């Protein structure tokens, strides 16, 4: 059956924007839907796998989820250790690992916890935070705590690499009362044809974007899932890194080698510890 929230999620952006709240976790509560939605997203996976192979590992991955990047990395022979706040995604990763070859299982370790707080007691040549993981940090103090953990886990000559969606004016100025429709999907858990649409609400002072997705199956009640992302502007990201002990900060565009520019959708950031 389709996994649905036991109680309605907050619909007001003023109620969201704290690490670990519904806006940060609800989107990941149904791993089967997540896998179906992002299963064809391969360009970032291939990018991070290339980095992992070049580093020779081990790799620390923040936001390991159900292993979209980590499993592909482990299959190339590189060890991955991950941290994630979603128990649902980690349970799904554990179930998937049971079906993998023994050598792949041995190369993947994961920890349930807050990326601002988890301390593993080891250092890595490569630390990554793929697919907007950093956009679930909402306040300056959240970024500072997370970057402190990255510094503790990164080898002196290692690299920290992450990506984030560049804020798009069209999304930030949409009418928050309007629902934008999308084609129907067959929900992977229920098998039902399900219509879904989205609503966008932006708080310009907190730089917080709330995307509410409404699922309307052919039979049964509709339900909504919130997803809140801190809107991180590139120059702001550069300043946060600089003042938190990082150097050689480089921005590239959409998992390629070209420098980021005004047409960039996903900004990829690579940096080192300041010497």
Task: For residues 199 and 255, state if they share a domain.
Answer: no
pLDDT of the residue at 9: 54
Enclosing H/E stretch for 200: strand 193-203
Say yes or no: 103 and 237 in one domain. Answer: yes
Task: Report the pLDDT value the prediction gives residue 3, as an integer from 0 to 100.
Answer: 43
Q: Of 12, 20, 273, 266, which is closest to residue 132 (Cα–Cα)?
A: 266
Examine the domain organization and report whether 120 and 217 are in the same domain.
no
Task: Tell me the pTM.
Answer: 0.94
Place of tokens 């969606």: 165
Q: How many domains does the chain have?
A: 2
How far is residue 168 CA from its own chain's centroid?
18
Q: Do 66 and 190 lie in a common domain?
A: no
Q: Is 244 a member of any domain?
A: yes
> What is the domain extent for residue 220?
168-230
pLDDT computed for residue 8 by the predictor: 46
Describe the strand order of the beta sheet including 108-112 as a list of residue ranges.
108-112, 80-84, 59-62, 124-129, 154-165, 266-273, 246-253
Residue 95 shares a structural domain with residue 122: yes
Per-residue model confidence (pLDDT) at position 192: 86
14 within domain boundaries: no
The set of residues, in sequence order, having a beta carbon less than 8 Å from that of 79 and lying 6+ positions away, is 57, 58, 59, 107, 108, 109
What pLDDT score does 209 carry?
A: 98
Per-residue pLDDT of 83-107, as tens digits, reads 999 999 999 999 999 999 999 999 9
In a shared domain, residues 211 and 240: no
220 and 131 share a domain? no
Residues of the chain short of pLDDT 70, as ranges, are 1-11
CATH of the domain at 61: 3.40.50.150
Q: Are residues 250 and 189 in the same domain?
A: no
């Amino acid at each position: 059956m389709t996994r649905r929230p036991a109680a309605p999620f907050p619909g007001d952006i003023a109620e969201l924007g704290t690490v670990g709240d519904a806006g940060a976790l609800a989107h990941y509560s149904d791993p089967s839907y997540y896998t179906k939605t992002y299963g064809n997203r391969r360009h970032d996976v291939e990018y991070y796998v290339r980095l992992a192979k070049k580093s020779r590992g081990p790799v620390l991955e923040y936001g390991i989820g159900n292993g979209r990047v980590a499993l592909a990395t482990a299959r190339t022979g590189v060890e991955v250790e991950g941290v994630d706040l979603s128990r649902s995604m980690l349970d799904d990763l554990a179930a998937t690992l049971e079906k993998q070859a023994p050598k792949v299982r041995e190369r993947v370790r994961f920890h349930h916890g807050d990326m601002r707080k988890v301390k593993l007691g080891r250092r890595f040549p490569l630390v990554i935070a793929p697919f907007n993981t950093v956009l679930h940090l909402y306040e300056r103090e959240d970024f500072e705590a997370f970057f402190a953990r990255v510094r503790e886990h990164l080898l002196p000559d290692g690299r920290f690499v992450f990506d984030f969606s560049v804020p798009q004016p069209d999304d930030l100025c949409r009418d928050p009362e309007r629902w934008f429709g999308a084609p129907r999907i067959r929900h992977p858990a229920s098998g039902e044809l399900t219509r879904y649409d989205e609503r966008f609400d932006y708080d310009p002072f907190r730089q917080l974007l709330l995307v509410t997705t409404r699922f309307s199956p052919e039979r049964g009640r509709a339900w909504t899932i919130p997803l809140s992302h801190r809107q991180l502007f590139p120059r702001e990201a550069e300043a946060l890194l600089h003042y938190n002990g990082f150097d050689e900060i480089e921005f590239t565009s959409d998992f390629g080698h070209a420098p980021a520019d005004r047409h960039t959708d996903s900004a990829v950031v690579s940096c080192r510890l300041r010497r």
